[in-house]
Amino acid sequence: IKSAECRTIYRISHADYQSFERQKNIRHAILPALTNNEFHVVLQPKVNAERKVMSSELLIRWNSPELGAVRPDEFIPIAEISSDIHDITKWVLEQACINLAEAKKYGQNTQIAINVSARDIVRPVFEETIMNMLRRYNLRPQQLILELTETALIQDLSAVSEKLKILSDYGLKISIDDFGTAYSSMINLYMLPISELKIDRIFTLEMEKNFKAKGIVESLLALSKRMQISTVAEGVETAQQVEILEKMGCDLMQGYYFARPLPPEEWLAFLLKANK
Ligand code: C2E
Ligand code: CA
Ligand code: CA
Ligand code: CA
């Protein structure tokens, strides 16, 4: 049926109709895009006080010939509605391994973090998929970090907790992403084998001008230290933010101030230069 008819039947606005259409187009384009190599990845370093790259977050990019550049914020939630997310995550996992193997050729046994969704984590074959991929590229589980949001953690806390235990027993690192923005609960930190906590960009951004934001960052750093969980501040963009975070003893920093998410070759060059 035509746009106008559809709008008459459902009495929806033109804007809503367009966004509905776009979502549908994205949904249908995801799997073909994987086979047509329309995705690529970028990597963003997480640096320590000595400006050494300790690990890097791998982020997906999509340039679609039909839809243009589609941001992960837009297509990942759509992929998460179906099992498409599993195909994306598996592809992303392989990209992480490819880049870890490349860095290893240059003597860098670095770590890469990938973003995983709630649906991935509770999947029965998840740990097997990961371990097989690591084995295929001759990598150690300690080199892979799984970034999970709190929203993903609470979906099914007992199932997630059981799965995270298995993964961390294998040696994989678990990181909580965007900490402080969703259902931040001490029980998560207490019950789950978390090795890294990422303080959401909003706190990094507000910290200078807002004493509450600064208080939250300070408290999270103190708490993590006591629990032997390593901390990463996200979205670090200015020298002032770096100064404050270093004074407060944040372990790692990630953001445009140090490096934008970089294409693999540039990322490797950055890594080799920083860690030489
Ligand atoms: P996220 O995991 O919180 O990723 C951090 C986002 O902040 C990235 O946006 C990154 O490019 C951006 N960023 C990094 N440094 C700075 C900075 O200094 N300032 C500002 N303003 N932004 C900064 P991106 O790549 O567009 O990703 C958005 C979200 O999409 C991610 O949020 C993550 O939830 C999701 N995503 C990205 N790649 C993947 C993936 O491979 N798999 C899954 N499941 N989700 C992904
Ligand atoms: Ca992340
Ligand atoms: Ca984040
Ligand atoms: Ca986010």
Residue nearest to atom 20 of ligand 1 (CA): 235
Are the C-beta atoms of 164 and 191 separated by less than 8 Å?
no
d(CA 136, CA 138): 6
Backbone angles phi, psi at 58, to 5 degrees: -95, 130
Backbone angles phi, psi at 42, to 5 degrees: -130, 155
Residue nearest to atom 43 of ligand 1 (CA): 115
The per-residue pLDDT of the chain, averaged, comes to 93
Measured from the Cβ of residue 26, the count of other Cβ atoms closer than 10 Å reads: 20
Q: Output the pLDDT for position 187.
A: 81
Backbone angles phi, psi at 185, to 5 degrees: -135, 135
**Which ligand 1 atom is at minimum distance from the Cα of 178?**
3
Q: How far is the CA of 59 from the centre of ligand 1 (A)?
A: 6
Q: Output the pLDDT for position 182.
A: 77
pLDDT tens-digit series, residues 28-40:
999 999 999 999 9
Q: Output the pLDDT for position 6.
A: 59
Measured from the Cβ of residue 127, the count of other Cβ atoms closer than 10 Å reads: 17
Ranges of the chain whose pLDDT falls below 50: none
Q: Does the ipTM exceed 0.90?
A: yes
Tokens standing for residue 144: 């892979």
Are the C-beta atoms of 30 and 16 separated by less than 8 Å?
no
Q: Output the pLDDT for position 10.
A: 64
Instruction: Categorise residue 115: left if φ over 0, alpha if ψ from -120 to 50, beta otherwise.
Output: beta
Q: What is the DSSP letter of 251?
A: S
Q: Output the pLDDT for position 3.
A: 61
Are the C-beta atoms of 188 and 153 separated by less than 8 Å?
yes
- H or E stretch covering 271: helix 264-274
Q: Output the pLDDT for position 1.
A: 54
- Is 150's C-beta closer than 6 angstroms to any atom of ligand 1? no
**Which ligand 1 atom is at minimum distance from the Cα of 256?**
18
Whether the full predicted model's pTM is greater than 0.80, yes or no, is yes
- What pairs with residue 68 in β-bridges? 64
- Is 45's C-beta closer than 6 angstroms to any atom of ligand 1? no
Q: Output the pLDDT for position 7.
A: 60
d(CA 182, CA 154): 10
Residue type, 253: M
